Amino acid sequence: DDRIVVIGAGHAGGAVAGFLRQYGHQGPIALVGHEPLPPYQRPPLSKAWLKGEVEADDLLLKPLSWYAENHVDLMVDTGVTAIDRAARTVVTTDGQRLPYDRLILAMGARARSLAVPGASLPGVLSLRTAADAEALKQALIPGRRLVVVGGGYVGLEAAASARALGVDVVLIERETRLLARVASEPLSRFFHARHTAEGVEILTGVELAAVEGDGKVEAVLLSDGRRLACDAVLIGVGALPNDDLARACGMACADGVIVDSQARTDDPAVFAIGDVTRRPLPHHDLHARLESVPSALEQAKQAAAAILGRPAPSPETPWFWSDQYDLKLQIAGLPHGADRQVTRGDPSSGAFAIFHLKGDRILAVEAVNSPAAFMGARALIGAQAAVVAERLADPDHSMKAVAA
């Protein structure tokens, strides 16, 4: 049976090992990961785990015993340094050469850093790994002041968790609004208002110019000349794909490894899944990096099915979630190309949904504390069903009754 090597023991890598066994793969699987931990979930690192609501063990994707029981050779604390596609081997940091018949790239992404003076001072933190989260947790001391750089999901979730722990938070965002790349303007406004009400000081349209301190962080200097005293700085300015290995061996990459709708790369022996990929989007003539757990899981299924010659799973509507305070945000689809927005429910009530429509089709939904609107819209997006906008806007019509 084929020898399969998976590079990256994160969410996608752990999941694909599971699907390969579930779908009947009998041959050897090696799962090689840089981090010291078996595959774990990152979403709680900025949410429940940071607030101390769940334990580290709760983050594991599968219990450690699963790997031995399923004959998956889990190699933690081990990096892959090169891929030799001609010889079909990968080289590891401890000098091993692992042969493969099928290779799965699941190297994920890393936190973007900022090249400003003082960026390497102790107390300048990022949030991608469990080790990062541990360092951040140590810094979240009640009454201390955290500056969060970046108003994306990771920055906002960390800000909410820090407030819950009694930490003073100032959040700076270069754009004129929060979540500028990833959410609609009304949703940005809603989250801005809520964070402000929770005591987060939000400064938009301003950049981090420097971090200052003598041996540790003492202040940040902003692009408008303001100086803010603080005890720690969290840089949350997005992620970059770990596609260097793929680029170094000549695979097609463009800010991520390019894959098709079955996680195939331009090399028939190599698949790629998760945050490291630039993938096609169902119903859109677009490739994107989705950076979400549902996308990583979908691609893990695609790769396992393709390797085992099973029918391709049907395409899923992309979706994502974020938890901040008592708010559960759920997003499905992509709003690109929408020509109008319809809102269901009143944002001031804290429960509402914004639908993005093109003609009479829903392209995307952003739902806050409205799981029924989210689920209903996700199904309608997947079915590309026509809807009646007036019914969509009226919470008295159930989501089942909005189809035209």
Closest Cα to residue 273, out of 250, 254, 292? 292
136/230 with CB nearer ligand FAD: 136
Considering the rule CB under 6 A, would residue 127 count as an interface residue with ligand FAD?
Answer: yes
Considering the rule CB under 6 A, would residue 109 count as an interface residue with ligand FAD?
Answer: yes
The single residue among 4, 20, 34, 368 that binds ligand FAD, judged by CB under 6 A, is 34
Backbone angles phi, psi at 374, to 5 degrees: -65, -50
The single residue among 13, 150, 155, 333 that binds ligand FAD, judged by CB under 6 A, is 13
The single residue among 146, 245, 257, 270 that binds ligand FAD, judged by CB under 6 A, is 245
Considering the rule CB under 6 A, would residue 192 count as an interface residue with ligand FAD?
Answer: no
- For every residue of 182-211, DSSP letters joined together read TS-HHHHHHHHHHHHHTT-EEEES--EEEE
Q: For residues 15 and 300, what is the distance between their CA atoms, to the nearest angstrom?
A: 6
Burial track 352-387 (b if 16+ CB lie within 10 A, e otherwise): bbbbbbeeebbbbbbbbbbeebbbbbbbbbbeeeeb
Strand partners for 104: 6, 271
The single residue among 7, 169, 235, 253 that binds ligand FAD, judged by CB under 6 A, is 7
Strand partners for 321: 330
The single residue among 18, 29, 74, 108 that binds ligand FAD, judged by CB under 6 A, is 108
> What character string, x for contact with ligand FAD (CB under 6 A) and - otherwise, covers 36-55?
------xx-xx---------
> What character string, x for contact with ligand FAD (CB under 6 A) and - otherwise, covers 54-93?
-------------------------xx-------------
12/74 with CB nearer ligand FAD: 12
- Positions 349 through 388 that interact with ligand FAD (CB under 6 A): none
- Inter-CA distances, 365 with 189, 354, 368, 382, Å: 16, 6, 10, 12
Q: For residues 322 and 160, what is the distance between their CA atoms, to the nearest angstrom?
A: 11
Q: Which stretch binds ligand FAD (CB under 6 A): 29-37, 55-63, 176-184, 330-338?
A: 29-37
**Which DSSP helix (H) or strand (E) runs through 222?**
strand 219-222
Q: What is the β-pairing status of strands 319-324 and 277-280?
A: unpaired
- Nearest approach, Cβ of 394 to ligand FAD (angstroms)? 30
Considering the rule CB under 6 A, would residue 104 count as an interface residue with ligand FAD?
Answer: no
12/380 with CB nearer ligand FAD: 12
What contacts 146, CB < 8 A, 6 or more positions away? 139, 140, 159, 162, 167, 168, 169, 170, 230, 231, 232, 233, 234
- DSSP, collapsed to helix, strand or coil, labels residue 78 as coil
Q: Residue with CB nearest ligand FAD? A: 10
Backbone angles phi, psi at 269, to 5 degrees: -90, -5
14/213 with CB nearer ligand FAD: 14
125/219 with CB nearer ligand FAD: 125
- DSSP, collapsed to helix, strand or coil, labels residue 253 as strand
- Positions 267 through 296 that interact with ligand FAD (CB under 6 A): 274-276, 291-294, 296
Instruction: Return the structure tokens found at 377.
Output: 């819209």
The residue ranges that bind ligand FAD (CB under 6 A) are 7-13, 32-35, 42-43, 45-46, 79-80, 106-109, 127-128, 154, 242, 245, 274-276, 291-294, 296, 320-322
